[in-house]
Amino acid sequence: MTRIYTRTGDDGTTGLIGGKRVPKDSPRIEACGSLDELSALLGVVRSHAVPEEVDAVLRLVQEHLFAMGSELATPEGAGLKREGIGESQVRMLENEMDAFEGRMPQLKKFILPGGGAAGAELHVARAVARRAERHCVTLSRLEKINPQILCYINRLSDLCFVLARYVNQEQSAVVSGT
């Protein structure tokens, strides 16, 4: 059985796909770590009794975040194909937002983050997505990255907001019996 620990990171570095080692606080690793944190938080949201259609979207988003992290962990010139996010995934987020917004009353004022546990955690996920976006922007200023990653993560924070509203609406209806 392979051990989970390797001791290779004890010097403050980590390995990228392709073998290159970089400091654990490099902009590339900050971006990858933020995407990983966001995916883990979405997993927490999914552990609640969220509507099935929300769970399905969040699972797909987690898969996209994994692909984005893998793409960012594969530096240009590593000699490996960089699978990633494209326009179709960005459009998917937009379509999901439009569909969920169509099931809710129009938002007429700012709302404070909160609601039930899943809704509140989706608001936290929105803030974590914004941080991940900032890390990806920092990386993009230093190295070439897929520009669709920036589009995707920008839309994803909006989707988290819409899903927070939707989940809170649905859970409120269940609690109130309507």
Longest dimension (CA), the chain: 58
Mean pLDDT lowest for which of 49-53, 72-76, 155-159? 72-76
Contact call for residues 55 and 46 (beta carbons, < 8 A): yes
CATH superfamily label, 24-75+84-99+111-176: Cobalamin adenosyltransferase-like (1.20.1200.10)
**What is the distance between the alpha carbons of residues 146 and 86, in angstroms, rounded to a whole number?**
8
Task: Write down the pLDDT at residue 176.
Answer: 40
Place of tokens 């793409």: 71
pLDDT tens profile 12-60: 777 777 778 776 788 999 999 999 999 999 999 999 999 999 999 999 9
